[in-house]
Amino acid sequence: MSTTMRALLGATALCMASGMALAETLTIATVNNGDMIRMQGLTEDFTAKHPDIQLEWVTLEENVLRQRVTTDIATKGGQYDVMTIGTYEVPIWGKQGWLVSLNDLPAEYDVDDLLPAIRGGLTVDGNLYAAPFYGESSMVMYRTDLMEKAGLTMPEAPTWDFIKQAAIAMTDKAGEVYGICLRGKAGWGENMAFLTATANSFGAKWFDMDWKPQFDSEPWANTLNFYLDLMAQAGPPGASNNGFNENLALFQQGKCGMWIDATVAASFVTGADSTVADKVGFALAPDNGLGKRGNWLWAWSLAIPAGSQKTDAAKAFVAWATSKEYLALVAEKEGWPNVPPGTRTSLYENPEYQKVPFAKMTLDSINSADPTHPTVDEVPYVGVQFVAIPEFQGIATAVGQQFSAALAGQTSAADALAAAQALTTREMTKAGYIK
Amino acid sequence: MATKASRSAARLMISPAVILLLAWMIVPLSLTLYFSTLRYNLLMPGMEEWAGFSNYYYFLTDPAFFDALRNTLVLVGGVLAITIVGGVLLAILLDQPMWGQGVVRVLVIAPFFVMPTVSALVWKNMFMNPVSGLFASLFKTLGLQPFDFLAHAPMFSIILIVSWQWLPFATLILLTAMQSLDSEQLEAAEMDGAPPLKRFWFITLPHLARAITVVILIQTIFLLSVFAEILVTTNGGPGTATTNLTYLVYAQSLLQFDVGGGSAGGVVAIVLANIVAIFLMRMIGKNLDA
Amino acid sequence: MARAVTNRRKTIATAAAWTIGFLIFFPILWTVLTSFKSEADAIASPPKFLFFDWTLENYATVQERSNYFRHFWNSVVISVGSTLIGLAIAIPAAWAMAFVPGKRTKDVLMWMLSTKMLPPVGVLVPIYLIFRDTGLLDTRTGLVIVLTLINLPIIVWMLYTYFKEIPADILEAARMDGASLRSEILYVLTPMAVPGIASTLLLNIILAWNEAFWTLNLTAAKAAPLTAFIASYSSPEGLFYAKLSAASTMAIAPILIMGWFSQKQLVRGLTFGAVK
């Protein structure tokens, strides 16, 4: 019996061995967003320069990607030579010594050209642990025609009160136009990214200096009540299941008056798939006059796991994918609006790129975010729309479910906040932050 | 009847399967049991320490735990009810003389071949989406307000999706059972003037009893671990409305990377699943031995 | 008179069955139709059923973006491989249980089924560590082993229930005739068991093909099957219904076609002892 099995297994193993090539093969884990997929189409440029390196792509949806790469790096599984990770992972992983330092990239890479806010988010104790592939903040995207119809003018830096006024004025539920589309789908990277950033502008914070959760504070109640009221008056139906994608589809179909979301969305809403491409304006994320705006900071970045045997080849790839030359290559093949944004100062100094309608607003948004001082009050954590501790994903997803339930009308704002406070306290006690 | 020799031969033949499954059960199970007593977060290596039963304490006192327990039962029960009632009706229908029976059968069994992830994506985006989904269009043509399935009836929506996947399986097994029903018995009853409902109740249904138990057993095994459909459509929300036990353990293990807590949850889930299993086995045993 | 009644009944049954069949099949049909639309037509309201510009563009994009054939081939190797090995282990076990039942046979069988209830998420980390240390991560061998193990209980049980229906008298008769154990299996049992084995094989290929937890979590690039292929199309930035539909169609088409062609074989043995 076992001989049969061994024979079969052996045969399978043999099949696989014969498929092995001689050149060094890099396995790259990436997220399936537009910029990354575009890069896959341009790899010939890299392999032409490095004929001895072959690239093997593993493209996954964001949640699956995170789950795969985290399991792999934490268990030292060694499945990937280059990993796509975000500003949330870099500080945690860097501290663990799981990533290869990129301080020794060649001079022509010009590391000083990286935007300071982004670079700061990817640096731990003076070591750059990941190279930014694209960076994003969040901003207001709005329909210029609807704004005009409502008789209003969008200021460059609006307040939340103005946003509410405009959203209600633009709403025409019978005509399926909703004044504002915001994230509602539960998830730490979905509604909680938006709500945490928004809470910052309302003066709220996740934890005080003793790591005590703050959902029972007034600023959080103000944040959530404002959000729920705004969505009830001017939001689309089904908002509690809308994430980035759903809102993008709504906006592109002309059903949203305003949308506050990632700056990368700008190239989609003004792109070919959009029915409103020529009627979109941009503004900074709103504030409440407390000194913090409700915008976040994120950078999808390329990092090399510390255990990799192919560090040199991996570095060559990371340097290529995040270089100035790569930006120029995309510009040449696909046009300036499709260049991965938000990583390099030189891009924003390029007169060609300055013609792109959303270039300036993207840069201003990124520059106005400060991951090291995200809130009005002093806090013990870094990260704008997240708290860079390992427990955050799980806690924020559970809190996100509560807020999503409040948006769906299944629970009240007060109950959702109380539940959030209770569960966060529980998890923080369990994890040993609260003694 | 069986000789001693054939008995030991039989033992020899069974052993590979038993040994393999034993290994498959014991190795992960003992590791899981071990991890469940540790404070062990995958993102903080080198900090593992003995945690006693605190992981169990936290898992069992989690307010989401009882919701998850209830949701698991509702989900399994709901899908079983729909697929069995629907399956019996479909089986009776397909057992009637008709044109193109083969083609209809092909249409009906098709959903069983669809990957759970794909079916969840298709239902969520192309049918249940309140703005661009097909149901929304249907409601609008009827002059109704589009219904937001996943927000206002999340569990119902998930039950619907899962039932769609499992209805073919139930129908197939029940149909095979139907076809073995002695048609003379039914005809005789018809001659005697028994109304259709009575014929169904006293002849067809008892005949299907065994098939129904089989459907319950097999489906329960798979339904207890429904996961992809929830992850794709609702992420367990809104609130904890669609968080089942499997999803809760997933959230612990792969969102928080809390291996200790996740392992404790896994052990709890295994214990509960085995309670259900024992219960089922009793039922099946009674029904199948006859 | 009687003839007319039957005919009318047949018409009603046909109409009802076709309607229900069509409704059940509709989501798949809709996915296939959408895969031939442009992205704009895919989300058009009111929806377009047949009158749109049919295009193959989505398939071209999907093909260009991912290596479909490699994923497809991995799926084939993994599902067929694990099923064949599973059968090789399960046939003798089920045979022994059915024809030489002991006191504990039923318990063993039930215990086997209960191992299927182990929630995979709970044991991912231990398995991942074992796979790392044995070099099985991202190998088809590794996936074949795991899928064999998780489907083995179902295979054993299906075969057992099928074998049990083979009348023992025939074996007795063969034994009386002086047939050896070998020829008993080869010439008497096997022919009677083939339908059951065939449908077990088919059912398990389907289950293995659609398994989406282990296949996704234990692979990276080399051994990733179609479930991983789908994971690269779910919720990218922007809802690309048409491309998602094309990818979905490509992922389910092979198993759907196989299922349709072999449905007679699948159904014949798919009784789980439900039919006496």
Letter for the amino acid at C16?
Answer: A
Q: What are the backbone angles phi and psi of residue A257, rounded to the nearest 5°?
A: -80, -45
Averaged pLDDT, C10-29: 92
- Listed in sequence order, the DSSP H helices in A214-355 are 218-234, 244-252, 265-269, 311-321, 324-334, 345-349, 351-354
More confident call, C40 vs A142:
A142
CA angle A266, A267, A270 (to 5 degrees): 85
Q: In terms of domains, do A338 and A201 share one?
A: no
Beta bridge partners of A59: A30
Q: In the structure encoding, which two tokens stand for residue B191, read together?
A: 């001659």
pLDDT digits (tens, 9 = 90+) for B90-134: 999 998 888 888 889 889 989 998 988 889 888 988 888 777 788
Predicted local confidence at residue C33, as pLDDT: 92
Residue range of the domain that includes A273: 138-296+380-430
Residues A188 and A165 in one domain: yes
Interface of B with A in 81-120 (CB under 8 A): none
Least Cα distance to A285 among A139, A103, A99 occurs for A139
- Higher local confidence (pLDDT), C147 or B250: C147
Nearest to A79 by CA among B163, C212, C136: C136
How many CA within 13 A on the CB side of residue A114?
26
Res B218: pLDDT:
85
Asked if A96 reaches chain B (Cβ–Cβ under 8 Å), the answer is: yes
**Residues of the domain holding B197:** 62-257
CA distances from residue C63 to A38, A124, C70 in whole angstroms, order as listed = 14, 40, 11
Q: Does C126 touch chain A (CB under 8 A)?
A: no
Inform me whether the pLDDT recorded for A259 exceeds 80: yes
Which chain C residues are Cβ-neighbours of B110 within 8 angstroms? 24-25, 28, 256, 259-260
- How large is the C-alpha radius of gyration of chain A? 23
Residue A49 lies in a domain: yes
Residue B284 forms part of a structural domain:
no
The domain that holds A316 is classified in CATH as 3.40.190.10
Interface of A with B in 376-435 (CB under 8 A): 390-391, 393-395, 397-398, 400-402, 404-405, 407-408, 410-411, 419, 422-423, 426-427, 430-432
Measured over the CA atoms of residue B100, residue B102, residue B105 and residue B110, the dihedral's sign is negative
Give whole-number Cα distances, A414 to A201, A234, A238, A417, in Å.
Answer: 20, 21, 21, 5
pLDDT at A323: 94
Taking alpha carbons only, the member of C161, C118, A406 closest to residue B211 is: C161
Structural contact between residues B51 and B260, judged by C-beta atoms closer than 8 angstroms: yes
Residue in C23, A413, A410 with CA at minimum distance from that of residue B153: A410
Asked if B54 and A407 come within 8 Å (Cβ–Cβ), the reply is: no
A55 lies in the same domain as A161: no
Give the count of domains, chain B: 1
Q: What is the CATH classification number for the domain harbouring B246?
A: 1.10.3720.10
Quick one: tokens of C175? 């034994």
Q: Which residue of chain B has the CA closest to C228?
A: B117
Domain segments of chain C as ranges: 2-59, 66-269
What confidence category does residue C235 fall into, taking pLDDT thresholds of 50, 70 and 90? low
CA distance B154 to A49: 52
Question: Which among A13, A59, A243 has CB closest to C66?
Answer: A59
DSSP string, A176-194: TBEEEE---S-STTTHHHH
No. of helices (H) and no. of strands (E), chain A: 19, 10
B153, part of any domain: yes
In whole angstroms, what is the distance from residue A349 CA to residue C203 CA? Answer: 61
Q: If contacts are CB pairs under 8 Å, which of residues 44-63 in chain A contact chain B?
A: 63
pLDDT level of residue C274 (50, 70, 90 thresholds) = low
Domain count, chain A: 2
- pLDDT class of C144 with cuts at 50, 70, 90: very high
Distance of CA C56 to the CA centre of its chain: 28
DSSP SS3 for A128: strand
Burial of C199 (0-12, 13-18, 19+ CB in 10 A): buried
- What pLDDT does A238 receive? 81
Q: At A19, is the pLDDT very low, low, confident or very high (cuts 50, 70, 90)?
A: very low
Q: Residue C53 burial by CB count (10 A; 0-12/13-18/19+): exposed, middle or buried?
A: exposed
Q: Which of A327, A359, A391 is the last residue of a domain?
A: A359
- Check whether residue A179 and residue A280 sit in a common domain: yes
State both tokens at C67: 């290596």
Q: Does C128 touch chain A (CB under 8 A)?
A: yes
Q: Can you spell out the DSSP letters for chain B?
A: ---HHHHHHHHHHHHHHHHHHHHHHHHHHHHHHHHTTEE-BTTSTT--EE-TTHHHHHHHH-HHHHHHHHHHHHHHHHHHHHHHHHHHHHHHHHHS--TTHHHHHHHHHGGGGS-HHHHHHHIIIIII-TTTSHHHHHHHHTT-PPP-HHHHSHHHHHHHHHHHHHHHHHHHHHHHHHHTS-HHHHHHHHHTT--HHHHIIIIIHHHHHHHHHHHHHHHHHHHTT--HHHHHHTTT-STTTT--HHHHHHIIIIIS-BHHHHHHHHHHHHHHHHHHHHHHHHHHHHHHH-
Residue A297 to residue A409: CA distance in whole angstroms: 30
Claim to verify: residue A146 and residue A91 sit in the same structural domain: no
Of A231, C90, A20, residue with least CA distance to B15: C90
In a domain, residue B142? The reply is: yes
One domain for residues A232 and A305: no
The reported pLDDT for the residue numbered A3 is 47
Count of residues making up chain B: 290
Which residues are bridge partners to A171 per DSSP? none
A 31-90 near C (Cβ less than 8 A): 32-34, 37, 40-41, 56-62, 64, 67-68, 71-72, 75-80
Q: Which of B85, B80, B67 is nearest to B154 (CA)?
A: B67
Q: Residue B285 falls within a domain, yes or no?
A: no
Q: Cβ of A398 and B238 within 8 Å?
A: no
Q: How far apart are CA A300 and CA A28, in angstroms?
A: 14
Residue A82: band (very low, low, confident or very high) from pLDDT cuts 50, 70, 90: very high
Does residue B52 belong to any structural domain of this protein?
Answer: no
Q: Of A2, A389, C49, A220, give the one whose Cα is nearest residue B12.
A: A2
Residue of A nearest to C71 (CA): A58
- Which chains border C (3 or more CB–CB pairs < 8 Å)? A, B
Q: Residue-wise over C142-176: b if at least 16 C-beta within 10 A, else e? A: bbbbbbbbbbbbbbbbbbbbbbbebeeeebeebee
Q: Chains meeting A at 3+ CB pairs closer than 8 A?
A: B, C
**Which chain C residue has its CA at the smallest distance from B108's CA?**
C21
Assess whether A397 and A275 both reside in one domain.
yes
DSSP sequence for A380-397: S---SSS--STTHHHHHH
Q: Which of the residues C128, C235, C240, C244 would you substitute to probe the A interface, choosing the one with the greatest number of A C-beta atoms within 10 Å?
A: C235
Residue C237 confidence (pLDDT) above 60: no
Predicted confidence (pLDDT) at residue B239 exceeds the cutoff of 90:
no
The verdict on a CB contact (< 8 Å) between C17 and B273 is no
Classify domain C66-269 at the CATH topology level: MetI-like fold (1.10.3720)
| B286 domain residue, yes or no | no
3-state DSSP assignment of residue A344: strand
User: What confidence tens digit (pLDDT) does each residue in A166-208 have?
Assistant: 999 999 988 889 999 999 988 888 899 999 999 999 999 999 9
Is residue A177 assigned to a domain?
Answer: yes
Q: For position B166, what pLDDT does the model report?
A: 94
Q: Is the predicted pLDDT of residue B37 greater than 60, yes or no?
A: yes
Give residue A231's identity as a one-letter amino acid code: M
Q: Peptide bond preceding B238: is omega within 30 degrees of 0, i.e. cis?
A: yes
Distance CA B275, CA A41 (A): 52
C125 inside 8 A of chain A by CB: yes
CB of C91 within 8 Å of a chain A CB? The answer is no
Interface of A with B in 202-221 (CB under 8 A): none
Cβ-contact A44, A280 below 8 angstroms: no
Determine the average pLDDT of the residues in A329-335.
92
Strand bridging mode A24-31 / A53-60: parallel
Residue A21 binned pLDDT confidence (cut-offs 50, 70, 90)? very low
Task: Say whether the ipTM exceeds 0.90.
Answer: no
Residue B84 lies in a domain: yes
Interface of B with A in 117-156 (CB under 8 A): 129-132, 145-146, 148, 150-152
Query: Within 13 Å of residue A431, how many CA atoms lie on the same side as its CB?
Result: 24
- Check if A187 contacts B (Cβ < 8 Å): yes
A175 touches B: beta carbon within 8 Å = no
Question: Which of B131, B243, B256 lies closest to A391 in CB terms?
Answer: B256
Tell me which chain C residue has its CA closest to the CA of residue B104. Answer: C21
Evaluate if pTM is beyond 0.90.
no
* Contact across the interface for B239 and A411, Cβ inside 8 Å: yes
Residue type, A294: G
B164 and C119: CB-CB below 8 Å?
A: no
* Interface touch C231/A60, C-beta < 8 Å: yes
The closest alpha carbon to A30, from A70, A54, A68, A65, belongs to: A65
Return the percentage of chain B with pLDDT > 90, whole number. Answer: 15
